[in-house]
Chain A
Amino acid sequence: MTDPGTKRSVLMIQLGGLYGLWLREVRRSFRDRGQLIGGISRPILWVVILGIGLNPYFRGEVFGKINFVVPFTYLQFIFPAVIALNILFTSVQSAVSVIWDREFGFLREVLVSPLSRGTILLGKVLGGATVAVMHGCLVLLLAKFADVNLTWMKVLEALGLMAMLAFALTSLGVVIANHIRSFQGFGIFSNAVILPLYFTSSSIFPLDPALSQEQTRVVYPEWLVIMVEWNPLTYAIDALRGALIGYNQFDPHLGILIMGVSGVVLFALALFEFRRI
């Protein structure tokens, strides 16, 4: 049989398939209205309502003199965190489609294709991460409201960090989805993961940078400080904050390192489990 299809190199087939699976995720996301509405309404709620509402209270009083705890408004402070929140929700949610694919048969179509399991998973995760970054960009559109001045350099730097974050979180979502047999279960579990992760990531309140380690533990209960410091998302948001408003609570390289390592580890874990299917 004359067969130009099978003469193509194996690598080309894997890359073509990777592109196909990536494109599928992106196409699907544009058709999923619920996800789009969530992606738009969430940042509006957090930035416009919570941000503007809490803005006047974001200050400290030292010897009768009113100072901002950090040299930024609350809106500016939570702006990068809302980007992370949108990425967090979208990444983990797009991993739900792993369950869809498994339950509604599409997974089988891919499993009997010449693609390796690694390619299939990578296509899925890259697709989900792309969608998540796009949802993160929706928040960037609100920069004017939050008094954040964006330059191209800042945006590019932020996009790189957002992509790393989205990749790690989508892999996390797939790991979760692998262990869950029903949609309801996933909803409960993902909320149990997403919200605590977000709230303890120094996203909506800073640990006062003016205080030393010991003083911080006096002002805040120790368990909270530990949770914030052990939460990997803290460092991701911190890096994003550094890129967008030039404010870091920790070493800015720490964020990149932690996102990179957890991205690789979570993807490897997801792949390990996916190979057993």
Chain B
Amino acid sequence: MTSALNSSPAIRLDEVSKRYGRTLALDKVSLKVGEQQMFALLGPNGAGKTTLMHILSTLLRPDAGKAFVVGVDVMRKPLQARRRLGIVFQEPSLDDRLSVHENLDLHGLIFGVPRTLRRQRIEELLALVELTDWADKIVRTLSSGMKRRLEIARAFIHDSEILLLDEPTAGLDPQTRDRIWHYIRRLQTERAITVLVTTHYIEEVENCDQVCIIDNGKVLADGAPKALKRQFGQQLLRIVPKTDADHTEIVTRYAGRLSRADDTEIILTSDDTFSETFLAENGARIRALSIEVPSLESVFLTLTGRDIRDKEIGAREQTKAFGKIGGEHTR
């Protein structure tokens, strides 16, 4: 699956930095995405994923560094780069007063897709994302899942070689999320394209070829999911102590192994022998205990020191507030 890394990469970032006022959104990020890969950028909101996407999509100029898509410098030749990119932004960018069909047709016109090909692709893609019956409906009347499907279809109306997906499944129900992944995978194999996707749903990352974990604008790790698990994965003990006294006792005793602790839960790094001895010694102090084998979740926890879902809501509100004062999302 990942044979293409040696040939010229589909996407390349060289020490890209971007700063908003006092916040460093990206700090010398370097990345390579091989051709026809499914590449996931994993990180909590506010990690810099969207900034990175905006730089690749030529919406934003980095303060330093270089970015290439299919060998084209996105800063020097933005028009050329854009013709090769299919982009689905985090927030919908459809014209909600036009119908489903009109939105796709407009996209085709804007990207210079000839009339016959345009018609043919619109038909195919509508069938693929199961929106054929909705073709004449005004976009405003669609559900958010349908809008997302329409946006994915739209990104394939022109000959995109690289698909950038910024949180394609955020805020959607599990069933819709599965379907959207199904469409993306089918299109990826049919068109032989490279996909760069950002997400904060870890289970979606497991099936990707490569994963890059970023936080606070820095790349923390980069590799195939299995390799990451092998390298950073850590067996964890999730402990719910019986009383506060037990809580303090465990925390002080195993301070060396402490990964995280809050009011209810303690997480200790562990291995098979430690788990056994811990249980034998502290059996009376705990109400619940679970042993977590290495997963991407634990990789993330090891690397960032926090659960990926911890900051989800807070960061989203931050982003909104940032938008309100005229930040990147409104420009």
Any chain B CB within 8 A of the CB of A108? yes
Any chain B CB within 8 A of the CB of A1? yes
* Distance, CA A107 to CA B83, complexed state (A): 17
Q: Which of A16, A31, A102 has the most CB of B within 10 A?
A: A16
* Distance, CA A21 to CA B330, complexed state (A): 21
Interface 1/0 per residue, A77-107 and B, CB below 8 Å: 0000000000000000000000000111111
Contact call B89/A8, Cβ cutoff below 8 A: no
Chain B residues near A (Cβ < 8 Å) = 57-59, 79-80, 82-83, 85, 87, 89, 91-98, 102, 105-107, 109-114, 117, 138, 158-159, 161, 326, 330-331
Mark the stretch among A56-64, A111-119, A189-197 that contacts chain B: A111-119
Q: Which of A1, A102, A112 has the most CB of B within 10 A?
A: A112
Contact call A277/B106, Cβ cutoff below 8 A: no
* Contact among B87, B98, B138, B159 for A112, CB-based, below 8 A: B87
* Contact among B93, B112, B113, B331 for A109, CB-based, below 8 A: B93
Contact call B91/A19, Cβ cutoff below 8 A: no
* Contact among B95, B102, B109, B331 for A106, CB-based, below 8 A: B95
Contact call A19/B89, Cβ cutoff below 8 A: no
User: Closest CB of chain A to B74's CB: distance in Å?
Assistant: 11
Q: Which of A12, A28, A106, A107 has the most CB of B within 10 A?
A: A106
Chain A residues near B (Cβ < 8 Å) = 1, 3-6, 8, 12-13, 16-17, 19-21, 23-24, 27-28, 31-32, 102-116, 181, 277
Contact call B89/A105, Cβ cutoff below 8 A: yes
Contact call A102/B330, Cβ cutoff below 8 A: yes
- B83 and chain A: residue at smallest CB distance: A114
Contact call A3/B159, Cβ cutoff below 8 A: yes
Contact call B112/A13, Cβ cutoff below 8 A: yes
Residues of B within 8 A of A21 (CB): 106, 110
Contact call A20/B110, Cβ cutoff below 8 A: yes
* Distance, CA A21 to CA B57, complexed state (A): 21
Contact call B109/A111, Cβ cutoff below 8 A: no
A–B complex contacts, Cβ < 8 Å, 29 sampled:
A3-B159, A4-B114, A6-B112, A8-B112, A8-B114, A16-B110, A17-B109, A17-B110, A19-B109, A23-B106, A23-B109, A28-B97, A31-B97, A103-B330, A105-B89, A105-B91, A107-B93, A108-B59, A108-B89, A109-B94, A109-B95, A109-B107, A109-B110, A110-B110, A112-B85, A112-B87, A113-B82, A114-B111, A181-B326
Contact call A113/B93, Cβ cutoff below 8 A: no
* Contact among B83, B92, B106 for A105, CB-based, below 8 A: B92
User: Closest CB of chain B to A142's CB: distance in Å?
Assistant: 29
Residues of A within 8 A of B97 (CB): 27-28, 31-32
